[in-house]
A and B are shown apart, each in its own frame.
Chain A
Amino acid sequence: MPSTQTYRRLYVWEMPVRLYHWLNALAIAVLAVTGYLIGRPFTVGYAQEASFQYWFGTVRFLHFMAGYVFLFNMLVRTYWGFVGNRFASWDKFIPLNRQAWRDIVEVLRIDILQTRGTGPIHIGHNRLAGLIYFVTFFIFMFQGLTGFALYGPMSHSVFGNLAAWVVPLMGSEAVVRQWHHAMLWFYVLFTLVHVYLVFYHDYVEGRGTTSSMVGGWKFEREDRLDD
């Protein structure tokens, strides 16, 4: 170990990536809460006549608005995967070579067996995180497709019509709804584990992981800057 360490400040997450991340988190939070309510509306006081209240309609409206934000946000991020910096690039999500798979095993050892890391730590996503986000993007797509397939018949939305093929493919709207609802729990699980892992890596690596998604900066020892 060299006796003196110099840390470099690196601009990792550009503004569009950060904006995407927090818009996405916000949209998902709104979608999960309103979606749950659509599936299980709670009992309100029944003192009012229908002409004076519209809360369930409002909940659904919020769900659809957040659904649009979720969709467009995802499209912008996909575009950014081709024009953004190297940390945002699409190839960081797909383990295409042997080295990438070795890195995944290494991260698993650090996370599960809790060994000390040996190789260089990645500056952007580690390879395991990248792979998980890659899978997650497909689940985002599934949620968007099933959601817009359900939305189509209740609107004149072009996006609804574009997803209309999902219903006959899955059998009926009842099945589409069942899976659209079930996937709600994926987001709950993902958020729980994801936020925990962010904190965990921040703790064991000490490079400012948590704040990086806010300000964009990470910190890295100069002798390890070979990524």
Chain B
Amino acid sequence: MPRAGNSLWEVMREKGYSRRDFMQFCTFAATAAGLGTNASAAVAKAFEKKDRPPVLWLHFQECTCCSESFIRASHPMVADVLLDAISLDYDETLQAAAGHQAEKCKADVMKAYAGKYILLVEGSVPTKENGVFCMIGGRTAEDILKEAAAGAAAIVAWGNCASYGCVQAAKPNPTGATAIQKLVNKPVINVPGCPPIADVMVAIVTHILMFGRMPELDSQGRPKEFYSRRVHDTCYRRPYYDAGLFVEVFDDDNARKGYCLYKMGCRGPLTYNACAVTKWNGGTSYPIQSGHGCLGCSENGFWDNGPFYRHLPSFPGFGIESTADTVGLTLGAAAAVGVAAHAVSTNIRKRKLIHDQVVEAVKDTPDSKEVE
């Protein structure tokens, strides 16, 4: 049954939360959405009055790491409130209902709240072989997605899978795994990452609930607030990078000193994410702080740019060990040999020609006696 309609405050009160809890939540929501604590009164007002839109969470080709991340948001109440109170009307992983009951619930929401509900999608959609690789309730993922997208007020693509296709879409992409934005002709909020950071996910949902519209997006559909800076530009090891102080192998002295992981294949310089700012697990740490380079998990096609532990990716078509430099050096050597061979053959084949020319030219020179 669709439970939406009441405001967030009403739902929280029903659940036994105090006014103080609610205000705390509003303050968190305001800061998470980048508004600052001053805005919490305005946020509270919105959450008191506005009806909560229902939320559908669809799962396709994925590993559930996005859901796992989401329920670990740093403010315990946030996950609780959002999961309990945003009225997550359909989520295969978390809902109590199953089978026909669950499907009916979703159908009811889509009908009663057409044009109003929020659609969150986790996972990519297979398009090869008529989409048989991912079917739920006898229907293909593509079919389910298109139906749900048609009446959605906002669509969020969770993680690299829904944003770009992730590992399923890595070459040769046997199932034709496709990003959500390529299948629906509506704007999609991409929240890439494998998984995305919990607090980022929460902030984005909160933003939509609060304002009833999308956060500001960049050209690739990612919220600018969290994806406009490279991990590298916010990394605390950056001074080592500029100084040219690099870890050469894991566990060398440089690694113990915390030098830059660039030569260990760190993808921070080409990865847009908030890891170094927001950090993970309630601000505890992030991969580089724990001594491991960034894999570029929020970037399109990051699985195909390996190996992960080397700066230069392998050159397409030349095997895993070859880099652009191997190929280039080989071509360069071949060209040098070619040029040398040409020079030798020039001097053999054109010897006579040039001799004639020289003689002729010298003869032609008016003042040529001493030259000859």
Contact = CB atoms under 8 A, between A and B. Distances in A.
Interface of A: 1, 3-5, 39-41, 43-44, 46, 48, 50-57, 59, 114, 116, 153-154, 164-165, 168, 171-175, 177-178, 181-182, 184-185, 188-189, 192-193, 196, 200, 203-204, 206
Contact of A178 (B296, B324, B364): B324
Interface in B233-278: 233, 239-246, 248, 253-254, 262-263, 267, 270
Contacts of B219: 164-165, 168
B350 A204 contact: yes
A206 B357 contact: yes
B325 A50 contact: no
B327 interface: yes
Contacts of A206: 357, 361
B311 interface: yes
Given A172-B299, A189-B332, A196-B339, A55 B244 contact: yes
Contacts of B267: 174
Contacts of B248: 43
Interface of B: 219-220, 230, 233, 239-246, 248, 253-254, 262-263, 267, 270, 296, 299-302, 305, 311-313, 315, 324-325, 327-329, 331-332, 335-336, 339, 342-343, 345-346, 349-350, 353-354, 357, 360-361, 363-364, 366
A23 B245 CA distance: 32
A185 B328 contact: yes
A171 B329 CA distance: 26
The 5 lowest CB-CB distance pairs between A and B, nearest first, are: A185-B328, A56-B244, A182-B324, A173-B270, A57-B242
Contacts of B332: 185, 188-189, 192
A196 B339 CA distance: 7
Given A56-B244, A204-B353, 20 more contacts: A1-B360, A43-B248, A48-B243, A50-B240, A50-B245, A54-B242, A54-B244, A55-B244, A165-B219, A174-B302, A178-B305, A182-B328, A184-B328, A185-B332, A188-B328, A192-B335, A193-B335, A193-B339, A204-B350, A206-B357
B72 to A, nearest CB: 27
A136 to B, nearest CB: 15
A174 B313 contact: yes
Contact of A57 (B243, B246, B305): B243
Contacts, number: 129
B86 to A, nearest CB: 32
Nearest to B296: A174
A4 B357 contact: no
A4 B363 CA distance: 8
26 contacts: A1-B360, A4-B364, A39-B311, A39-B325, A40-B311, A44-B245, A48-B243, A50-B245, A51-B239, A55-B244, A57-B242, A57-B243, A114-B345, A114-B346, A114-B349, A172-B270, A172-B296, A174-B267, A175-B305, A181-B312, A181-B325, A182-B315, A185-B324, A196-B343, A204-B350, A206-B361
Contacts of B349: 114
Contacts of B327: 182, 185
B361 A5 contact: yes
Contact of A50 (B243, B305, B324, B342): B243
Q: Tell me the dominant secondary structure on chain A's binding face.
A: helix
Contact of A174 (B305, B336, B360): B305
Nearest to B253: A46
B301 A171 contact: yes
B302 A53 contact: no
Contacts of B301: 171-172, 174-175
B244 A41 contact: yes
Given A41-B263, A192-B332, A172 B302 contact: yes
Given A174-B305, A204-B354, A3 B239 contact: no
Given A57-B242, A178-B324, A192-B335, A203 B346 contact: yes
Given A171-B301, A172-B300, A182-B315, A204 B244 contact: no
Given A114-B349, A175-B305, A178-B305, A39 B339 contact: no
B346 A54 contact: no
A165 B220 CA distance: 10
A107 B61 CA distance: 58
